[in-house]
Amino acid sequence: MNCRDSCVSRRRFLQGIAAAATPVIVSPAVLGAGKTTPPSERVTVGIIGIGKMAGDYHLPSLLGLADVQVVAVCEVDTTRRLHGKQVVEKHYSKQRPYKGCAVYNDFRELIARKDVDAVCIATPEHWHAIPAIEACKAGKDVYCEKPLTLTIREAKLSIDAVRKHGRVFQTGSQQRSNMFGQFREAAEIIRSGRLGQIKTVTVGVGGPSKWCDLPEEPMEPGLDWNLWLGAAPQRPYNSILSPRKVHNHFPAWRSYREYAGGSHADMGAHYYDIVQWALGMDHSGPVEIIPPADPKAGMGCKYIYANGVEMTHGGPDGCFFTGTRGTLYITRGKLVSEPAGIVKEPLGKNDVHLFRSPGHHRNWVDCIRSRKKPVADVEIGARSVTVVHLGNLAYWHGRRLRWDPQTWQFVGDDEANTWLDRERRDPWQLPSI
């Protein structure tokens, strides 16, 4: 029985009602979301990838939810894998009865467990799409870190897999929740028309990735390097890609095209996501991408939306919106406008009010139970990362591109449509859905 079925049936049992065709949704208090939630009533989660993001954010957050039970961790590095197990077991050590936390080197073994309701994927970008799609096929709900995918084809296929298998999928675009504060407010202000008609946007994030040129180093003991590489080309080990043991920094695999989209993707997935949200483009995207005159510049790419809004990659950190009535600047910890009253005057009841997330993991778990879409549903993550991919392709190829967000194809450009995906090393081809 998967989580969708088991969570619903447990809720029905608690309410003492007969089975019905429509799922019954009850409050967290009835479900036992407080400190007394019995293990049998918790959403069981497996975590795939135990690096800094999982160690500093996902594990503490999930372990802090009383109606969640982390039952397994998967990691290709032995030291990090055992460290994750230790953290989980220490947290649950006073729970009786407790069977411990299972550990896996291969994500497929974790996904195959019948007692896992959902998975949290915190791997490098080149290892997002395949586990996410396979988890959906296995009936698991998914939380996957951003940037959601390495290619546009992966982004579209992720949407298709979630929809076909009826899964709840949260993208790790935490700025949509209350983790960083004012992003929802900025989107509400813009969508309520406080800036008038939006003319231009600048997004200040880093540049695209480059091909990996790192030298060979002695292999890290206890690391399954072949599995770390996965579909990426075979190459010698270097600790910049997979730092030795438990580390307290974000590894620089983000800088290399084989594994990621550079800092353009790393923070761009956050900030382009806010632009998409504020412009009401969660189900669409830009239609034209214009690289700078110097393709090696790494900044200055322009995106044109069908409504005429022009977005430029470059400028101060975060997002700067210019409208016919004023400007608004949003970044982590700062929301300002000119005139100042645009952000200082409270929104009225007739203005746009977006969903107020209770927290990114909390929202995900609530939606696992209710079967609603979370605040950063798979399509939201897929559309935002596609903005990054479109820009990177324009930079890498020095080409002006026309894009159709509805068909997910470049318009009148057969060559560009060959860039939607990449060659993969066997056996890690994209799965059928």
In a domain, 227, yes or no: no
Residue 186 has pLDDT above 90, yes or no: yes
Domain range for 200: 183-208+263-353+379-413
In a domain, 240, yes or no: no
Average pLDDT of 77-81? 97
Average pLDDT of 359-388? 98
Q: Are residues 300 and 383 in the same domain?
A: yes
Q: Are residues 27 and 171 in the same domain?
A: yes
In a domain, 214, yes or no: no
State whether the Cα torsion 361-363-364-370 is positive or negative.
Answer: positive
In a domain, 374, yes or no: no
Q: Are residues 159 and 204 in the same domain?
A: no
Average pLDDT of 392-420? 97
Return the pLDDT at 32: 35
Q: What is the mean pLDDT of the chain?
A: 91
In a domain, 228, yes or no: no
Return the pLDDT at 37: 79
In a domain, 166, yes or no: yes
Q: Are residues 163 and 193 in the same domain?
A: no
Q: How confident is the model at residue 25 (pLDDT cuts 50, 70, 90)?
A: very low
Return the pLDDT at 179: 59
Q: Are residues 300 and 267 in the same domain?
A: yes
Q: Are residues 158 and 199 in the same domain?
A: no
Q: Are residues 131 and 30 in the same domain?
A: yes
Q: Are residues 296 and 392 in the same domain?
A: yes
Q: Which tokens sit at 27?
A: 């409050």
pLDDT in tens, 279-295: 999 999 999 999 999 87
Q: How far apart are CA 103 and CA 86, in angstroms?
A: 10
pLDDT more than 90, % of the chain: 86
Following DSSP, what letter does each residue of 252-271 receive, concatenated? GGGGBTTT--HHHHHTHHHH
Distances (CA, A) of 409 to 154, 305, 378: 13, 15, 19
Number of structural domains, the chain? 2
Q: Are residues 122 and 190 in the same domain?
A: no
Return the pLDDT at 97: 85
Q: Are residues 194 and 98 in the same domain?
A: no
The CATH number of residue 171's host domain is 3.40.50.720
Q: Are residues 145 and 279 in the same domain?
A: no
Residue 332 has pLDDT above 50, yes or no: yes
Q: Are residues 198 and 125 in the same domain?
A: no
CA dihedral 120, 122, 126, 129 (to 10 degrees): 10
In a domain, 145, yes or no: yes
In a domain, 362, yes or no: no
Distances (CA, A) of 328 to 184, 308, 333: 13, 18, 14
CA 123 from centroid of its chain's CA atoms: 11
The secondary structure of residue 105, as a DSSP letter, is S
